[in-house]
Amino acid sequence: MRLTYAPGKKNKIHVSIDGEYRFTVDADFWFSLGIYQDAEISEAELTALLEEVATRRAFNKGMDYLSRRAHSKKELVEKISKTSDKKYAIMAVDMLEQRGYVSDEDFAAQYYEYLQRVRHFGKKRIAAELARKGIDRAIIAQLEQSDEADPCAEIAALLEGKFAGKFGDEKGKQRTINALLRLGYSYSDIRSAISEHDITSCSNE
């Protein structure tokens, strides 16, 4: 089989086999392969080339997602797999990790802080959200151990802010407790904070 290629718009290369168009790739990647114009290529070599191209596309898609925000490895594989075969998505994410573009440790630390400071989640809810993103339990445990935030102080701030005036009667109090439980706070900490609005510290459950 004879391979030919031609330049396209926006740094693209269009590749044909025996005069029939097969695929398009970015020029930097294409010329890094060292394939010459009018090269003779076997079926096995074409199959290997198509796999390289598919992995490159998955890699580029991953880079695009990472340019917008940090992602966990699991999250990135799932997103890339929407437009690529999963095996290429996994290979691409492995490449991104090896090159330092994706790190579950870095992502987990950033996401932990966001969930705590912006979403006001408690440790239990944060751990569940990180696990859902595919973060290893050991990484989550390390972040929990280094977290010095006082959960009762966090609850007290919510009671004086988001839930202010919503726990005057028993029905409102129960709704507030349920909402705080969903946020990931322990029942004992919630009861302590409700009974002492000026609380500065309390023991963790």
Per-residue pLDDT at 60: 93
Question: What's the pTM?
Answer: 0.80
Q: Look up the CATH number of domain 103-149.
A: 1.10.10
Domains 2-97 and 103-149 are alike in CATH topology: yes
Evaluate whether the domain defined by 2-97 bears CATH number 1.10.10.10.
yes
- Mean pLDDT of residues grouped by 10 in the chain (205 residues)? 94 94 93 93 94 94 95 97 95 96 96 95 96 96 92 90 79 90 93 68 44
Per-residue pLDDT at 47: 94
Locate the domains of the chain by residue range. Answer: 2-97, 103-149, 150-205
pLDDT tens string 145-201: 999 889 989 999 998 888 887 777 788 888 999 999 999 999 999 988 888 754 343
Record the tokens describing residue 145, joined without a space. 């151990």
What is the CA 158 to chain-centroid distance, rounded? 28
Q: Residue 141 contacts by C-beta under 8 Å, 6 or more apart in sequence?
A: none
Per-residue pLDDT at 192: 87
Q: Looking at the DSSP assignment, which residues form a beta bridge with residue 23?
A: 15
SS3 5: strand
Rounded to whole angstroms, how far apart are CA atoms 193 and 167?
12
Q: Residue 205 contacts by C-beta under 8 Å, 6 or more apart in sequence?
A: 186, 187, 188, 189
Handedness of CA 52, 58, 64, 66 (dihedral sign): negative
